[in-house]
Amino acid sequence: MRSLRPVALFLLAALPSSAVAVQELPTLRGYQLGISFQQARASRLPCQPDANRLRCDAPDSVQLTFERDTLTGIIVNFTAQPVTARERWFAVSDSLIMVYGDPDSVRVQDDVTAGTMSTTLRAYWGPLTRSQPWGLSYNAIQIRFGTNVGSVAYLSLGACFWAEQAPLCAAVLKQPVTKRTSRDKRP
């Protein structure tokens, strides 16, 4: 049997040098940031306009956000559970850290609105930079009714492609290009 090594080396040498240097945009639940509405096969999904965006519901509790025919956000919603926000975080944190590395921050904020206590826990992987204009966050929101507690959670992946997208995107995209040096394990 002939070795395929010379063929593989030829094919690698034939690739443009920019193909190796370009970092792929991240994927969540099979959807890659930056793909078009058509590539995401979103025309078969229930969608609704939201300001200058189009939000579409995909199977398995996934929401897709499109701007200018480009996928700019992916949200995975998790079912409500009778546990605290911290319990939800500790149940998934090892898996998330194994895939994405240590989060850049984990913050908890307590609020009281109309006598109802709520707690939001947010773990964030970032920071957004011009060379990596996307971020991932895990959010758990807990509501306490008397002695009962419940929470919902979602995983969100979003990207900045244009300065007009949001004030944060304008600031990120004006930064000089820098190389990310964290322990990020994303491909």
The CATH number of whichever domain residue 72 belongs to comes to 3.30.2030
> Residue 34's closest CA among 44, 21, 18, 22?
22
Domain-embedded: residue 57: yes
Domain-embedded: residue 48: yes
Domain-embedded: residue 186: no
Range of the domain at 84: 28-174
What is the count of structural domains for the chain?
Answer: 1
Domain-embedded: residue 142: yes
Domain-embedded: residue 56: yes
Whole-number mean pLDDT of the chain?
84
The confidence score (pLDDT) of residue 46 equals: 98
The confidence score (pLDDT) of residue 96 equals: 95
pLDDT tens, position by position, 41-84: 999 999 999 988 999 999 999 999 999 999 999 999 999 999 99
Domain-embedded: residue 8: no
The confidence score (pLDDT) of residue 178 equals: 64
Higher pLDDT, 103 or 131: 103
pLDDT tens, position by position, 122-131: 999 988 888 8
pLDDT band (50, 70, 90) for residue 22:
very low
Question: How much of the chain, in percent, has pLDDT values that exceed 90?
Answer: 65
The confidence score (pLDDT) of residue 128 equals: 85
Task: Please report the DSSP string for the chain in residue order.
Answer: ---SHHHHHHHHHHS-HHHHHPPPPPEETTEETT-BTTTTTGGGS-EEEETTEEEEEETTTEEEEEETTEEEEEEEEEEEESS-HHHHHHHHHHHHHHHH-S-SEEEEEEEEETTEEEEEEEEEE----SSS-EEEEEEEEEEEETTEEEEEEEEEEEE---GGG-HHHHHHHHSPP----S-----
Domain-embedded: residue 14: no
Domain-embedded: residue 183: no
The confidence score (pLDDT) of residue 41 equals: 96
Higher pLDDT, 3 or 138: 138
